[in-house]
Amino acid sequence: MLMISFEKALEIIIDSARTIGSERVAMLDSLNRILAEDVISDLDMPPFNKSAMDGFACRRSDLGNAMKVIETIPAGKVPQFRVSEGECSRIMTGAMVPDGADTVIMVEQTELAGDEKIRFTGSKTQTNIAYKAEDVKVGDVLLHKGQLISSSHIAIMAAAGANNPLVSVQPKVAILSTGDELVEPHQKPATGQIRNSNSWQLMAQVRAMGCIPHYMGIIPDAEKETEEAIARELAQSHLVLLTGGISMGEYDFVPNSMRSNKVEVLFQKVAVKPGRPTLFGVTDKSCVIGLPGNPVSSFINFELFVKPLLFKMMGYHYKPVELSLPMAENFTRKKADRLEWLPVDITTEGKVLPVTYHGSAHIYAVSISKALLRVEIGTFELQKEELVNVRPF
Ligand code: AMP
Ligand code: MG
């Protein structure tokens, strides 16, 4: 099968992603999920002219005069009296400004002026009133369908009474790692074995973006087991994520298992480094991504391909942040036939510094990096101070 470009692979993935429905959840449970409806304000905000200070509500034209205090208005109470000339009402922050008053003077800028009277002692004052509907009007769209919900959005939902927002269903992602050499993290690898880090890394990546990982364990490098595992997971997951076994080695059974499971393979090789062997296939109900066995490739290709796919399934148009920053030192490479993503640090001066990196098995390099540096096809070297594109994690 042909090797395709990064952009083409991404386009194929996005085009074949299907949205998977929505559900109502408790407001707080919508955190980190994708909103599936607009949130519209059922109120003006503020809902009434509101005092921004503890002080006295009065008429600006009375600032030079002693004023009679006619009532006290705590927050949450409706004023009983209109403020007329020579009068004021003691008022608390957040309370309704009474009719007739156009200004609230701070308590710190007043003094007693005889029985039940006060006087303004300042030289000037602001109005200190937050006006009805100055922030939001009834019917304003406050949050939009398709946006990712963060903590600041929860306050908006609370204020607008969106107690049970409609959010996208979280894709269920089956995770499988192939390899006879793999043992689980709690085990000590015998000679020739290594610990399975990919599955755990992928579960963390899936969970961090608000989807549901289902760990299905290690599958041996055997055709029958691989076929059966894929068949089982395709039937019950929105996406099956596999690592390892997708190259051309004698023990790489994943590509054949696609055919026997009637998965239409849309690509199998992408011109990226690391992670050239990356497989994407679809059935009428689900899809499969096969990631390379090396943990750095698996990590990076999740970021590049799996994240946009899962977000699209949830109705979110994901655009990763890319920054343009200067290189901290020179970088060279011998081959430039693939788009390369390198783990890099970002220095305190905001410069891009490649970390020590021994290749795609070197997962420690990713753990100490802050971003991925994008090195374009045809680029053999990057000069110190040259502006480059990086994607922060
Ligand atoms: P493969 O893609 O199966 O040929 O594997 C490529 C390399 O990645 C080999 O060195 C594997 O041992 C290693 N590898 C495969 N699967 C995992 C895994 N789940 N965790 C860590 N390393 C792995
Ligand atoms: Mg393998």
pLDDT tens digits for the chain (393 residues)? 789 999 999 999 999 999 999 999 999 999 999 999 999 999 999 999 999 999 999 999 999 999 999 999 999 999 999 999 999 999 999 999 999 999 999 999 999 998 999 999 999 999 999 999 999 999 999 999 999 999 999 999 999 999 999 999 999 999 999 999 999 999 999 999 999 999 999 999 999 999 999 999 999 999 999 999 999 999 999 999 999 999 888 889 999 999 899 999 999 999 999 999 999 999 999 999 999 999 999 999 999 999 999 999 999 999 999 999 999 999 999 999 999 999 999 999 999 999 999 999 999 999 999 999 999 999 999 999 999 999 998
- Considering only CA atoms, which residue is closest to atom 5 of ligand 1? 293
290 pocket-lining for ligand 1 (C-beta < 6 Å): no
243 pocket-lining for ligand 1 (C-beta < 6 Å): yes
- The helix/strand/coil state of 70 is strand
Torsion of CA 263, 18, 301, 198, to 10 degrees: -70
Spacing, Cα 148 to ligand 2 middle (Å): 36
**CB atoms closer than 10 angstroms to residue 76:** 9
277 pocket-lining for ligand 1 (C-beta < 6 Å): no
- The helix/strand/coil state of 65 is coil
Spacing, Cα 8 to ligand 2 middle (Å): 26
Spacing, Cα 225 to ligand 2 middle (Å): 14
pLDDT of residue 230: 96
Q: Residue 242's closest CA among 285, 188, 168, 297?
A: 297
244 pocket-lining for ligand 1 (C-beta < 6 Å): yes
Q: Of all atoms in ligand 1, which is nearest to the CA of residue 292?
A: 2
**Residue 120's Cα: distance from chain center in Å?**
50
Alpha carbon distance 206, 214 (integer Å):
10
Q: Of all atoms in ligand 1, which is nearest to the CA of residue 361?
A: 8
pLDDT of residue 251: 87
**CB atoms closer than 10 angstroms to residue 234:** 21
- The helix/strand/coil state of 231 is helix
Instruction: Name the H helices within 302-386.
Output: 307-313, 363-367
Mutation pick for ligand 1 pocket among 193, 194, 360 (CB with most ligand atoms within 8 Å): 194
Work out whether the CA dihedral 62, 131, 80, 125 comes out positive or negative: negative
Alpha carbon distance 149, 142 (integer Å):
12
pLDDT of residue 163: 97
Spacing, Cα 293 to ligand 1 middle (Å): 3
Q: Residue 270's closest CA among 250, 286, 290?
A: 290
Spacing, Cα 219 to ligand 2 middle (Å): 10
295 pocket-lining for ligand 1 (C-beta < 6 Å): yes
Mutation pick for ligand 1 pocket among 175, 182, 296 (CB with most ligand atoms within 8 Å): 182
Distances (CA, A) of 191 to 27, 179, 183, 184, 222: 51, 15, 11, 14, 21
Spacing, Cα 179 to ligand 1 middle (Å): 7
Q: Residue 200's closest CA among 208, 191, 210, 192?
A: 208
Ligand at minimal distance from the CA of 181 is: 1
Spacing, Cα 221 to ligand 2 middle (Å): 7
- Considering only CA atoms, which residue is closest to atom 16 of ligand 1? 293
360 pocket-lining for ligand 1 (C-beta < 6 Å): no
Alpha carbon distance 312, 25 (integer Å):
20
Ligand at minimal distance from the CA of 244 is: 1
Mutation pick for ligand 1 pocket among 184, 291, 294, 297 (CB with most ligand atoms within 8 Å): 294
pLDDT of residue 1: 74
